[in-house]
Amino acid sequence: MKHSIPFVLLFKTFLLGSLLLGVAPSDTRLLGADAVAADRPNILWLTCEDNNVNWVGCYGNPHAETPNIDALAAEGFQYMHCYANAPVCAPSRSTWITGVHALSMGTHPMRSRYPIPHDVIQYYPDLLKKAGYFVGNAKKTDYNIGGRNDGDAWDTNRADWKELQARQPFFMVINNTKSHESRAFGDVNNTTHDPADVRLAKYHPDIPDIRKNYAHYHDQMKKMDADIGLALKELEKAGLAENTIVIHNSDHGGVIARSKRFLFNSGTHCPLIIRIPPKFKHLRPAEPGTKINDLVSFIDMTKTWLSICGAETPDYLQGKVFLGPDQETRDYHVSFRSRMDERCDNVRAIRDQRFLYIRNYMPYAPWGQHLNYLWTMRATQAWEQHHRAGKTNAVTGRFFGTKPMEELYDTAVDPDNVNNLIDEPKYAEDVARLSSALDQWQLAHYDSGLLPESEVVRRSEEAGKTIYELVRSPTLYDVRGLQRAAARALKQDAANLPHFYQDLADQDAGVRYWAIVGCFNLQESTPLDLEIIRKSLHDDSHHVRVMAAWILYRGGDKAAAQECWNSLLRESSYASLKIFNVVDWIGDGVEPYAEAMKACDFSHGGYVARMKTYLGVAGDAKPARKQQRKAKTKTKV
């Protein structure tokens, strides 16, 4: 456990003096603020939402209008390789508040709020308060964690500059929402920013509505930037700038389709700028105005903020300190995606400063599967219409196809991640190196997403344990065994087929799940014994049944598959959301399932209802669009 020694000794000395004077430890933040703050910085963390580096001027986009952020970078330090662990808000903020990967706690599915052991894992403001800090958060929380109110850890949920003057040292988060994805919705006409002056990603077709949506979001970024400037002025006005470290970053990437929610650069490569006043120059990584090329992962932020504030850094923290005297080095960054709202998926990514390696555990789920919220945006609608009209090419149309098992991108020359190098022999060593590093990370961090979400939840509830505790018990969740089973399933090696048949009778439902997925992945290239597969229609695991039925559907026995899925839906199976997704991915229409879908009462956080509405089976609701999935181009890369 590491500490910044001068800060800790100073605070302990102050506490001892307070006790001798008869002051309760809980009162020390009020009565001795100046003494406690003498050698410890205030922190002003100016967070914003949903933008990657391409929307910020100092990161190289000549069309971005972010003068206040750019000025902050000139006065501070601009980190060029900072990446979010999750490309969406709730799992990302779950990681922030705990300093533990959401994937390691089971809080990675969007809007899930599964509990964690709060007696084991504290929130970082808890630790800061113990170190004498006044902590505030204005105002977004969205920690995606059950068992505790999001606001309980904070002293205040508003930025009152007079109060901050009196309560030093302080740690104040101000979250700006003006760059949120929702601000890219609405009318994209009559923008202040000229649609001609935008830098389109290579994967976006150059069509008017996409250009307009870019311009519309540039307008929102300019408004967010103005608020950053206002907060900095208020800090100066309050006389706090000389004692305060200022941090600015987004909570993940975004925001036009194929960025937020995806593990490409566009969804994870985030701005990070830190300004450190002369009083704390011993914490500076270089001279002000320097671009820092260290690899920084969002998981590192919690431990780093605690370290530079002289607070406790518990052993359960999974990040590295990237700033100050206790700085640690990082070789790789890992990010993850699972269910996003009503859409099932499961992806991992690992990267160094040059290469990005992605592993798709559900390659049959299209990148561009319809998500109600994302399709509110005009650019998304226009892109899909352009694709359906047959006007996209191999690069701009790939988003609407199914995924490869693995991807590799050289981000130094391909920042938009459109050229998959996975099959090029000269990169084989890099693929092996990154894949192995990802495997090691999964074992070390107890990857809780090696089974479908509701399967893990079922195990957790049956064991009476949180997911965090479950995945750390090998008899309940064998990380290494599941990892090996998943790896076999993704290989698409026909030599593994006898092994899959054998594993379909394994005692562990997780092994059986990956065995049926392995059979599914081989089906297009290798004949299967459908009678063996048929036995899995009665498996104890509903997710095994769903995939077995899909194999039979593709093998010509649609009646058996439909009977299986309808039976599960009528029983409100815990795998219901997956069935809704599978029916949509197949694209043959919902008529054979409509009544069973209507009868399904399994909620899955309300997302089954969203799928009902989208597919037009929610009462008298009309489908969001006609089922034309077969018309989509399936691109193998």
Of 552, 572, 597, which marks where a domain is finished?
Answer: 552
The mean-pLDDT minimum among 28-32, 238-242, 335-339, 573-577 falls in 28-32
Residues 120, 269: one domain?
yes
Concatenating the DSSP letter of every residue in 504-533 gives TT-SSHHHHHHHHHHHHHHTTTS---HHHH
In a domain, residue 25? The reply is yes
Asked if residue 357 belongs to a domain, the reply is no
pLDDT, tens digit, for every residue of 359-389?
999 999 999 999 999 999 999 999 999 999 9
Q: Which residues constitute the domain of residue 112?
A: 5-328
Residue type, 372: N
Selection from 374, 337, 365 nearest residue 453 by Cα: 337
Lookup: tokens for 547: 């995939």
Question: How many of the other CB atoms lie within 10 Å of CB of 219?
Answer: 17
Which structure tokens are listed for 509? 């439902």
**Amino acid found at 343:** R
> Which H or E run contains 340?
none
Token pair for residue 56?
């910020």
Cα three-residue angle 298-303-307, rounded to 5 degrees: 135
Distance CA(419)–CA(637), nearest Å, equals 9
Is 177 a member of any domain?
A: yes
Q: Of 306, 328, 350, which marks where a domain is finished?
A: 328
d(CA 220, CA 271): 16
* Cα atoms in the Cβ-side hemisphere of radius 13 Å centred on 572: 7
pLDDT at residue 350 in the model: 99
Q: Facing residues of 173 across strands?
A: 45, 137
Residue 552 to residues 212, 543, 565: CA-CA distances in angstroms?
Answer: 45, 14, 12
Do 406 and 358 touch, CB atoms closer than 8 A?
yes
Average pLDDT over residues 385-410: 97
pLDDT given at position 619: 73
CA-CA distance, 343 to 341, in Å (whole number)?
6
What is the gyration radius of the CA atoms in the chain, in angstroms? 25
Over range 520-548, report the average pLDDT. Answer: 98
Domain-located, residue 482: yes
SS3 label, residue 571: coil
369 vs 222: CA distance, rounded Å: 31
The answer to whether 624 and 381 have CB atoms below 8 angstroms apart is no
Coil/strand/helix, residue 131? coil
The band of 9, judged by pLDDT with boundaries at 50, 70 and 90, is: very low
Query: Helix, strand, or coil here: 469?
Result: helix
We report the CATH number of the domain holding residue 201 as 3.40.720.10
Which of 501, 507, 545, 543 has its CA nearest to residue 522? 501
Write down which residue in 518, 535, 552 finishes a domain: 552
Residue 455 within any structural domain of the chain: yes
- 17 pLDDT higher than 60: no
- The tens digit of pLDDT for each residue in 611-625 reads 999 999 987 545 554
Does 596 fall in a domain?
Answer: no
pLDDT above 90 coverage of the chain, percent: 91
Average pLDDT, the chain: 93
Say if residue 35's pLDDT is above 60. no
Which of 49, 111, 629 has the alpha carbon at shortest distance from 370?
Answer: 629
Q: Does pLDDT of 470 surpass 50?
A: yes
**Which residue carries 């034309």 as its tokens?**
628
pLDDT band at 39; cut points 50, 70, 90: confident
Cis preceding-peptide flag for 546 (omega within 30 of 0):
no
Region 548-575 average pLDDT: 98
| More confident: 432 or 31 | 432
The neighbour count for residue 443, using CB atoms within 10 Å, is 12
Number of domains into which the chain is organized: 2
Left (φ > 0), alpha (ψ -120 to 50) or beta: where does 364 sit?
Answer: alpha
What sign does the CA torsion over 543, 548, 552, 555 have?
Answer: positive
Asked whether the predicted pLDDT for residue 27 surpasses 50, the reply is no
138-161 pLDDT per residue, tens? 999 999 999 999 999 999 999 999
Residue 625 forms part of a structural domain: no
CA atoms within 13 A on the CB side of 256: 32
pLDDT surpassing 80 at residue 543: yes
**Pair 13, 28: CB distance under 8 Å:** no
In a domain, 28, yes or no: yes
Please report, rounded to a whole number, the percentage of residues in the chain having pLDDT higher than 70.
91
If you ran DSSP here, which 8-state letter would residue 360 be given? E
State yes or no: pLDDT of 13 exceeds 60: no
* C-beta of residue 575 within 8 angstroms of C-beta of residue 565: no
Does the pLDDT value for residue 8 go beyond 60? no
What are 75's two structure tokens?
Answer: 């006065």
* Mean pLDDT of the 481-503 span: 98
CA-to-CA distance for 509 and 474, rounded, in angstroms? Answer: 14
